[in-house]
Chains A and B, each alone.
Chain A
Amino acid sequence: MLSMDHVSVTFNAGTPNEVRALQDISLSVAEGEFITVIGSNGAGKSTLFNVISGAVHPDRGHIHLDGQDITFWPEFRRSHDIGRVFQDPRLGTCPGLTIRENLSLAAIHGRSAGFRRDVKKSEEAWFVEQLQQEQLGLERRLDADVALLSGGQRQAITLAMATLTEPKLLLLDEHTAALDPNAAEQVVALTQQLAASQSLSVVMITHSMQQACDLGDRVIMMNRGQIVFEIAGAERQDLRPADLIDRFHSLDSAAELSDRQLLG
């Protein structure tokens, strides 16, 4: 469904601040697959998402979605097929607008905004059904200002908006990291449920080894702009958080070693 071939991104190329954020990344995501991505800060996880969603265009390589080359499509053009939820609950929804207005915006997806009425009676049942799946009672507060909601509620609305028009791929950028444990658990459950009911492909960045082991079919670890390993299939079944942490440390010591060698 989604395939990335030899994608590289370099920021500030040719200056002392040059950062090779992605180096020759190839990755393919099958339909209905759920992938978790782990890696330390600066490993390139967010750049990976920015390239897939179109916020950043790659220097080299190609990205295909269902056979179509989308490498240089602007962000808004591919957002119909690619939904995205950010870590910051404030980024996904629009404060000052009501829940209904936010969902109405999400419903415009894939066509252009015209002179139809902004909130339509005919869409109400659709919104209520979508929010009911989440079982947070938000469907009864359609006319509440989003600014009045908690972080967990706003993240739930963002999820509802991102999946409202059934995209092909959902990108989750540590979308539970800013929430309290209770809300995080709820949002994770919601995510699984939505992914399963729409057989969505999901790529999820997480810093929680537990989440990386519990969720999805495949784990990818990134380091210094590269995918350093993937775990899938039988090996993935028995994976424990401790194993992942061990792998993390082995990466660190390898890096340290090379630094020492370099300086020595």
Chain B
Amino acid sequence: MTATTAAADREHDRDLGATRAFLVRAVVLTVVVAAFMSLGNVNIGAIGQGLGYALAGVTVFLTFRVLGFVDLTVDGAFPIGGAVCAVLITQGQSPEVAIVVAFIAGALTGMATALIDIIFKIEGLLASIIVITAAYTVTLHIMGGRSNVPLLGEETLISRHSKQFRSWLVEQFGDQMRRQSTNLLEIGLFLIIVIVVLIALYWFLRTELGLAIRATGKNPQMVRATGLNHNMMIIIGLMVANGLTGVAGSLVVQQFGFADVSLGFGLIVRGLAAVIIGEVLLRPRSVGQLLIAAVTGMLVFDISRAWIFSALDLPTTDIQFVSALVVLAALGTPKLYDRWKTYRQRHSG
């Protein structure tokens, strides 16, 4: 009896310790990244861009880690979300409406992948490649047959407040802030959106439905044995996950000032990198920590890439290659480190 009570106490202590360690790591990481940025003379625009893409990282976390479903649909859901948003804004809809509809568009893309997986019993990897292929045409049709929709002069989330914000900033901090005003505004607005979405998602994952979705990824047999339709859990899970990528698409489109059919290219790799960077740097344990880690991972990815660009003074044509290198570093370093550790253990005694 005392043994089990002690075990329960130990578990409690371990949980508290882990939460504290997580917070410490988060603070240390923030300081290191800030120092890194100021030393490398990295523009803070990288933070805004990382926040814009952050929800796509959360999507990959949900599909790969929570649902255990190898899903590449983000490459298709992202441009669809972006296209829907751009077209609605050019038609005079408010940016908020555009973002919500972009969520729905992304969710439908996710549903397509889930249905192909369930009805035709095609693995997620292949099902999502099929959806991405079709999504290209869908995106073009949404944009009225054009491959690009500019948002020049339209009212976006950012342009709506930019003038007001700039004059406020200059008034408060002086004229040297003028150049950074758009970047700061993006960071502020996107941070609020990302935080609101994360809170909603955290709430969702802690409902019965969320619990069933979390269990589906770990043990689908058990979910069936519990009387829940595990296929339904996969559908709902993929819809919520890819809906977030739709939102990310709509944010990035408003940030760039245009929607483009090729916007999602290579996004899955970027999302995977974000999830893994977050896990390696923050070692999250609870659901909430894992969500924060995915967002942090995306930020670190964008900042490191911007740093490499400014350090090596590369032209923008090299962007995908540098992305691939950063992803390779994120995926490969932990494995190399493990091998180095076992090598040392073997040769130290």
Residues in A lying within 8 Å of B, measured CB to CB: 53, 74-77, 79-80, 83-84, 90-97, 101, 104-106, 108-110, 112-119, 137-138, 140-141, 143-144, 148, 161-162
Q: Assess the A108–B221 pair: CB atoms within 8 A.
A: no
User: A118 and B206 in contact (CB under 8 A), knowing A91-B222, A105-B212, A105-B226?
Assistant: yes
Q: Assess the A95–B229 pair: CB atoms within 8 A.
A: no
Q: A93 contacts which chain B residues (CB < 8 A)?
A: 219, 222
Q: B8 contacts which chain A residues (CB < 8 A)?
A: 140-141, 143-144
Scoring B residues 207 to 240 as 1 if CB is less than 8 Å from chain A, else 0, what string do you get? 1111110110011011111111110000000000
Q: A148 contacts which chain B residues (CB < 8 A)?
A: 11
- Bound CA–CA A113/B225 (angstroms): 14
**12 chain-A/chain-B pairs, Cβ below 8 angstroms:** A76-B225, A76-B228, A79-B227, A91-B219, A105-B211, A105-B212, A105-B215, A105-B226, A115-B208, A137-B4, A143-B12, A161-B226
Q: A109 contacts which chain B residues (CB < 8 A)?
A: 226-227
Q: Assess the B218–A97 pair: CB atoms within 8 A.
A: yes
Task: Check: B119 CB closer than 8 A to any chain A CB.
Answer: no
- Measured CB to CB, the closest approach of chain B to A126, in angstroms, equals 15
Q: Which residue of B lies closest to A111 (CB)?
A: B227
Task: Check: B312 CB closer than 8 A to any chain A CB.
Answer: no
Which residue from B11, B218, B226 sits with its C-beta under 8 Å from A143?
B11
Which residue from A77, A95, A114, A116 sits with its C-beta under 8 Å from B227?
A77
Q: Assess the A106–B226 pair: CB atoms within 8 A.
A: yes
- Bound CA–CA A53/B225 (angstroms): 9
Q: A108 contacts which chain B residues (CB < 8 A)?
A: 208, 212, 226-228
Residues in B lying within 8 Å of A, measured CB to CB: 1, 3-5, 7-8, 11-12, 15, 206-212, 214-215, 218-219, 221-230
- Bound CA–CA A85/B325 (angstroms): 48
Q: B11 contacts which chain A residues (CB < 8 A)?
A: 141, 143-144, 148
Q: A117 contacts which chain B residues (CB < 8 A)?
A: 206-208
- Bound CA–CA A144/B208 (angstroms): 19
Contacts between chains A and B (CB distance < 8 A), count: 106
Q: Assess the A113–B4 pair: CB atoms within 8 A.
A: no
- Measured CB to CB, the closest approach of chain B to A155, in angstroms, equals 13
Q: Which residue of A lies closest to B222 (CB)?
A: A94
User: A116 and B207 in contact (CB under 8 A), knowing A79-B226, A140-B5?
Assistant: yes
Which residue from A104, A112, A141 sits with its C-beta under 8 Å from B211?
A104
- Bound CA–CA A118/B226 (angstroms): 14
Q: Which residue of B lies closest to A96 (CB)?
A: B218
Q: A140 contacts which chain B residues (CB < 8 A)?
A: 4-5, 8
- Measured CB to CB, the closest approach of chain B to A232, in angstroms, equals 29
User: A118 and B4 in contact (CB under 8 A), knowing A75-B224, A76-B228?
Assistant: no
User: A92 and B222 in contact (CB under 8 A), knowing A108-B212, A140-B4, A140-B5?
Assistant: yes
Q: Assess the B229–A76 pair: CB atoms within 8 A.
A: yes
Q: Which residue of A lies closest to B1 (CB)?
A: A137
Known: A113-B208, A114-B208, A137-B1. 7 other contacts (CB 8 A): A76-B228, A79-B227, A93-B222, A94-B222, A112-B228, A114-B207, A118-B207
- Measured CB to CB, the closest approach of chain B to A97, in angstroms, equals 6
- Bound CA–CA A104/B226 (angstroms): 10
- Measured CB to CB, the closest approach of chain A to B174, in angstroms, equals 49
Q: Assess the B218–A113 pair: CB atoms within 8 A.
A: no
- Bound CA–CA A162/B129 (angstroms): 39
- Bound CA–CA A101/B11 (angstroms): 16
Q: A83 contacts which chain B residues (CB < 8 A)?
A: 225
Q: Assess the B219–A113 pair: CB atoms within 8 A.
A: no
Q: Assess the B227–A76 pair: CB atoms within 8 A.
A: yes
User: A113 and B221 in contact (CB under 8 A), knowing A94-B215, A108-B208, A118-B210?
Assistant: no
Q: Assess the A79–B214 pair: CB atoms within 8 A.
A: no
- Bound CA–CA A38/B224 (angstroms): 26
Q: Which residue of A lies closest to B217 (CB)?
A: A96
Which residue from A104, A141, A143, A161 sits with its C-beta under 8 Å from B4?
A141
User: A92 and B225 in contact (CB under 8 A), knowing A140-B4, A144-B8?
Assistant: yes
Q: A118 contacts which chain B residues (CB < 8 A)?
A: 206-208, 210-211
